[in-house]
């Protein structure tokens, strides 16, 4: 019995019923998604409050603290948007492969490798080339490096059949240690005091900001990328084929679809998007590599993609919400003396609630 139902239920919550034009159905599903979201958030807040209480702090004071320091100040909203941009891009790196039924947990590593490649280009070419050329090559290097990093996992999936979730996870650590090797070794800034970092980017290589704000061009890039991914997935043959593969690869293969090529492109494009996230994190936010560069962005992005059920436009909202939680982690540390990483609990709880409430059968109907 269970065998039967399990066969019927795909392991991924049903990829994107190839967008129907049934407006009413979509509206309903949007409504229930919203409801589940609010419920999950409340459940997360309650349980997190209990944890905070168990740790000897007053949850109400903590929440009030988060509220005033994170959400009521105009500067903070810009901070949230800035944080959300790389999360959204790295989240798209989960969305695209997920359409084809692939689980890319390697956003973290692909982002770091992208940033490392961009930093390398900046390091070598800044003295010899014009700023615009350097910036262009940085983007290119980040995209290619991210795609190549995901390509390793794709090759292992397609050639030796090792699941990509396992390999992308391992590659995250290889990427992290490679970056640490570089910034504590050959790329170390001799002038850096205390923490080892790479040399800061030249001012000309920093992403320009929109006049009167702190919002850099990378944010616009993330929004455009989300739009492009939405278009590619729901309005092109390639996107449709991807979701066929994700729904039933066997059927897709028998129908003559190039399954291997589709899986490969999905993962490579995912990696490229995560590499791009690494670029904007480097050129727009941090300006240099440091041991904590891009820390947990890839994992948060994975949660964001699952929260939005792998849909590009809701992903933007999910990224904003998770970015707000991440920003509140800083105020938590300053205000209540709780470690910033404790907000991971809140993110984890929200996604757990969503995963737990989304039984495949319900989503299908």
Partner 1 sequence: MIIDILAGAVRGGTSIMYAGLGETISERGGVINLGTEGAMLLGALGGYAVTAETGNPWLGVLGGALAGALLSLVHAVLVVSRRANQFASGLTLYFLALGVTALFGVSYVSQQINAFTPVPVPGLSEIPGIGPILFDHDPLVYIAYVAAPVIWWVLFRTRVGLLVRTAGERTEALEVHGYSVQAVRYCATVAGGALAGIGGAHISIAYANSWFENMIAGRGFIAVALVIFAMWNPIRIMAGAYLFGAALSLASVLQTSGIAVNQFALNAVPFVLTLVVLAVLGRRTMLAAPDELLKVFDNSRTT
Residues 246-275 that bind partner 1 (CB under 8 A): 246, 249-250, 252-253, 259-260, 263
Q: Out of 18, 31, 227, 356, which residue is the one contacting partner 1 (CB under 8 A)? A: 356
**Residue 293: CB minimum distance to partner 1, A:** 13
* Dist. CA 312–CA 12, nearest whole Å: 16
Counted residue by residue, the chain has a size of 365
| Interaction of residue 18 with partner 1, rule CB under 8 A | no
CB of 259 to partner 1, least distance (A): 6
How far apart CA 140 and CA 246 sit, in angstroms, is: 29
Check: CB of residue 223 under 8 Å from CB of residue 316.
yes
Q: At its nearest, how many Å lie between partner 1 and the CB of residue 77?
A: 24
Q: Looking up tokens 């929004």, which residue turns up?
A: 223
- Answer whether 136's CB lies under 8 Å from 347's CB: no
Count residues near partner 1 (CB under 8 A). Answer: 76
Stretch that binds partner 1, among 138-146, 170-178, 215-223, 275-283 (CB under 8 A): 170-178
Binder among 14, 151, 335, 348 for partner 1 (CB under 8 A): 348
Rounded CA gap, 307 and 314, in Å?
Answer: 9
Q: How far is CA 210 from the centre of its chain?
A: 23
The candidate with the shortest Cα–Cα distance to 90, out of 289, 281, 345, is 281
CA distance 219 to 283: 12
| Closer of 87 and 346 to partner 1 (Cβ) | 346
Least distance (Å) between residue 31 CB and partner 1: 21
Kindly tell me which of 178 and 202 has the beta carbon lying closer to partner 1: 178
Residues in region 220-239 near partner 1 by CB under 8 A: none
Is position 9 an interface residue for partner 1 (rule: CB under 8 A)?
A: yes
- Closest to partner 1 by CB, 10 vs 131, is 10
By CB under 8 A, residue 355 contacts partner 1 = yes
Judged by CB under 8 A, which of 11, 190, 212, 256 binds partner 1? 11
DSSP 226-237: HHHHHHHHHHSH
| Residue 102 vs 145, nearer CB to partner 1 | 102
Assign 162 to helix, strand or coil. coil
In the complex, what is the shortest distance from the CB of residue 159 to partner 1, in angstroms, rounded to a whole number? 8
Structure tokens at 148: 């190549």
Task: For the CB of residue 6, give the shortest distance to partner 1 in the complex, in Å.
Answer: 7
Tell me how far, at minimum, the Cβ of 363 lies from partner 1, in Å: 11
| Cβ count near 24 (within 10 Å) | 7
Rounded to whole angstroms, how far apart are CA atoms 193 and 170? 31
Judged by CB under 8 A, does residue 358 bind partner 1? yes
59 in helix, strand or coil? Answer: helix
Neighbours of 66 (CB within 10 A): 22
Work out whether 327 is an interface residue with partner 1 (CB under 8 A).
no
Q: Are 101 and 181 in contact (CB under 8 A)?
A: no
CA distance 351 to 346: 9
In the block, tokens 């970015």 appear at 323
Instruction: Choose among 49, 85, 73: nearest CA to 284.
Output: 85
Binding mask 174-193 for partner 1 (x = CB under 8 A): x--xx-xx--xx--------
Q: Which of residues 285-304 bind partner 1 (CB under 8 A)?
A: 299, 302-303
Q: For residue 151, state whether it binds partner 1 (rule: CB under 8 A).
A: no
Which of 103, 118, 135, 143 contacts partner 1 by CB under 8 A?
103
60 near partner 1, judged by CB under 8 A:
no
């Amino acid at each position: 019995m269970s065998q039967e139902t399990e066969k019927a239920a795909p392991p991924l919550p049903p990829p994107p019923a190839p967008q129907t034009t049934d407006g009413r159905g979509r509206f309903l599903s949007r409504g229930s998604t919203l409801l589940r979201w609010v419920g999950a958030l409340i459940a997360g807040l309650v349980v997190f409050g209990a944890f905070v209480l168990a740790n000897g702090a007053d949850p109400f004071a903590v929440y009030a603290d988060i509220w005033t320091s994170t959400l009521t100040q105009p500067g903070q909203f810009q901070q949230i948007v800035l944080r959300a941009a790389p999360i959204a891009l790295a989240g798209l790196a989960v969305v695209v492969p997920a359409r084809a039924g692939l689980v890319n947990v390697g956003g973290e590593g692909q982002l770091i490798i992208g940033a490392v490649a961009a930093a390398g280009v900046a390091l070598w070419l800044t003295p010899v080339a014009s700023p615009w050329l350097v910036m262009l090559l940085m983007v290119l290097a980040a995209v290619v490096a991210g795609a190549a990093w995901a390509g390793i996992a794709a090759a292992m999936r397609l050639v030796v059949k090792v699941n990509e979730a396992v390999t992308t996870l391992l590659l995250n650590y290889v990427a992290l240690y490679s970056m640490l090797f570089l910034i504590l070794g050959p790329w170390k800034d001799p002038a850096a005091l205390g923490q080892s970092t790479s040399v800061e980017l030249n001012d000309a290589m920093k992403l320009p900001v929109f006049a009167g704000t702190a919002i850099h061009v990378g944010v616009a890039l993330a929004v455009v990328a989300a739009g492009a991914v939405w278009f590619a997935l729901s309005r092109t043959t390639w996107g449709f084929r991807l979701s066929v593969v994700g729904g039933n690869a066997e059927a897709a293969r028998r129908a003559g679809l190039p399954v291997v090529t589709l899986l490969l492109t999905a993962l490579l494009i995912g990696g490229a998007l995560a590499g791009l996230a690494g670029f904007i994190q480097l050129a727009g936010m941090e300006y240099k590599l440091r041991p904590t560069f891009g820390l947990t962005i890839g994992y948060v992005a994975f949660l964001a993609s699952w929260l939005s059920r792998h849909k590009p436009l809701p992903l933007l909202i999910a990224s904003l919400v998770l970015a707000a939680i991440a920003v509140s982690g800083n105020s938590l540390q300053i205000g209540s003396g709780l470690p910033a990483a404790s907000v991971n609990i809140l993110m984890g709880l929200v996604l757990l609630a969503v995963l737990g409430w989304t039984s495949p059968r319900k989503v299908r109907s």
